[in-house]
Amino acid sequence: MKGTILVTGGAGYIGSHTVIELAEAGYQSVIVDNFSNSSPEVLNRIEELSGKKVPFIKADVRDRQALKGIFSEYDISAVIHFAGLKAVGESCQMPLEYYDNNLNSTIALCLEMQAAGVKRLVFSSSATVYGDPERLPLTEDMPLSATNPYGRSKLIIEDMLRDLPAADKLNGSDTPWQAILLRYFNPVGAHKSGRIGEDPKDTPNNLMPYISQVAVGRREKLSVFGDDYDTIDGTGVRDYIHVVDLAKGHVSAIDNLLSDNPVTGVEAINLGTGNGTSVLQLVNTFAEENGVPVAYEIAVRRPG
């Protein structure tokens, strides 16, 4: 076994796929999750697909006592931090909840990591930290300027994480912080088995599960937010990356942190395909490939 990785939010959409990929790469995972947007059944399916028993702790990552217990019980080599709220539109309606959850969970996690002497972190960031860029494609050296509370919470955390190795240098620490910030775009898809995927408890915040729910009759129609963008068909264009590719990106980041030549300090990396797909292109492709209609209506643009 290569090492034990604590995965916060490991029962969620991206987290669950990452735990499976970690197992295939020879790592042992420990999951902490509060099931705020996931189901306990996911744990059974992770073990079914990975063939490994995965320790699980039900807790909010803001709970420092729970975290302290995890670091005391398990010999954690590094941490992947997924846990947090993640919907752009919702963050505009509930900014305080987003700042509370996303910032305070990361602060609590880093405090307990530091106390345990575990200073290797892969952080689930987002391309929203770039705001409304003036040019494409996005590169890691471009200016950062988030335009919504969700993106700003990610950007604040990135800045905070950059402060940690700087403090280590001032304090003469022998074990400096090392962090990889993965700024990714729009994850879609599911494990090839079909046993896990994106199936949110409430109204989906992402496009693909919404399309799927309309296709199987769980919802009457899809709301397409805006058809007046400067795009091929007037609908929003996004870079969609398969969730398994994204999960493998996290494993590669862990491989680096635990290697003989890891990153120094904090490094940001974009994870995407570099290709854009419009909402209607995705809807029409889904309908054509699956032979099912996907009813939709044009609605006003969403905030954020």
Tell me the catalytic residues. 150
The span from the CA of 247 to the CA of 21, in Å, is 7
Q: What is the dihedral of CA 57, 59, 61, 64, to 10 degrees?
A: -90
Cα 209 from Cα 200, distance rounded (Å): 8
In the chain, what's the furthest Cα-to-Cα distance? 62
The answer to whether 78 and 118 have CB atoms below 8 angstroms apart is yes
Task: Encode 133-158: b = buried (16+ Cβ within 10 Å), e = exposed.
Answer: eeeeebeeebebebbbbbbbbbbbbb
Strand pairing report for 277-278 and 237-238:
antiparallel
Q: Measure the CA–CA gap between 51 and 4, rounded to whole angstroms.
A: 16
Q: Can you tell me the distance from the alpha carbon of 212 to that of 219, in angstroms, rounded to the nearest whole number? A: 9
Q: Give residues with Cβ within 8 angstroms of 1, minimum separation 6.
A: 26, 27, 28
Note whether 21 and 252 are within 8 A (CB): no
In this structure, what token pair is assigned to residue 166?
């700087």
